[in-house]
Amino acid sequence: MTDHFDPMEAKRRVDNASRGHKQIMLGRNYERCHDALRRWTKLSRSLAELPALDRAAMREIERGAHG
């Protein structure tokens, strides 16, 4: 086997490595975005429940004050 430099083979290897790296980075970005979205969804649900909790707390306070 002769050991010669094949520019097309080198380009193919670089392209494949680059493509693999991009896929890994896209995957990581997706995971990061997905985690952030999940945390935001939890937070927004908690925030949506606050007015109901406030009303319940106010009723408890009023009941305690008048009871």
Residue 9: inside a domain: no
Number of domains the chain contains: 1
Residue 16: inside a domain: no
Q: What is the CA radius of gyration of the chain?
A: 29
Residue 17: inside a domain: no
Residue 6: inside a domain: no
Residue 13: inside a domain: no
Among residues 7, 28, 10, 30, the alpha carbon closest in space to that of 18 is found at: 10
39 pLDDT higher than 90: yes
**Position 1 confidence tier, pLDDT thresholds 50, 70, 90:** low
Quick one: tokens of 45? 């649900």
Q: What does the pLDDT read at residue 67?
A: 61
- Calculate what percentage of the chain has a pLDDT beyond 90: 21
User: Which carries the bigger pLDDT value, residue 9 or residue 53?
Assistant: 9
